[in-house]
Every structure is written in C-alpha cells, then in structure tokens.
Amino acid sequence: MSAADFTDRAIAGIAEWHGVTPPNAVAVRMVGDLQKIIGDVAALRGSLKFEDEPASFEAALLTAAAVQVTP
C-alpha cells in the first residue's frame, strides 16, 4: 500500500471510529509516520518474548522511543 493510501485510510478509519480528523498538515504527516512504526513493530514479531525477556522488550521500547520523525 502506498504511503498516501495508508494515510487516507488511517484518517478515514480514525474519523469513523473516533469522530476526529487531523487538525493540520503536521498531524496528517504524523498519521503517515504510523505506517513506518507499524512496519518496524511488525518486524520484531517473534523476536521478543515479553514474559521471558523483559530486557529485550525494554530495549525495543527504547529503540522505538529513539525513532526520529522527519518534519
């Protein structure tokens, strides 16, 4: 799915479920950034075991927190 398609579908879904829309261009860009975040988290699937390795889970959270969002 293209970035534009993802953003349009995400905005439509959020509007349908929650009744809100992005208030400005920055918010629309942030919705688009979700596609990369979702892909990054999906790439970790199967490699982290929350119950067995909390240190790995914590490392994943720290890595996610360090993701740079481009303006």
Q: Residue 64: in which H helix or E strand, if any?
A: helix 54-65
pTM of the model: 0.57
Q: Is residue 70 part of a domain?
A: no
Q: Which residues contact 66 (CB under 8 A, 6 or more apart)?
A: none
Q: Is residue 40 part of a domain?
A: yes
Q: Is residue 9 part of a domain?
A: yes
When divided into structural domains, the chain yields a total of 1
Range of the domain at 33: 3-65
Q: Is residue 71 part of a domain?
A: no
Q: Residue 27: in which H helix or E strand, if any?
A: helix 25-43
Token pair of 71, please? 């303006």
* 27 touches 7 (CB < 8 A): no
For the chain, the average pLDDT equals 83
- For residue range 41-71, list pLDDT tens digits in order: 888 877 766 555 556 777 778 888 888 877 6
Around Cβ 14, how many Cβ atoms within 10 Å? 14
Q: Is residue 52 part of a domain?
A: yes
Q: Is residue 39 part of a domain?
A: yes
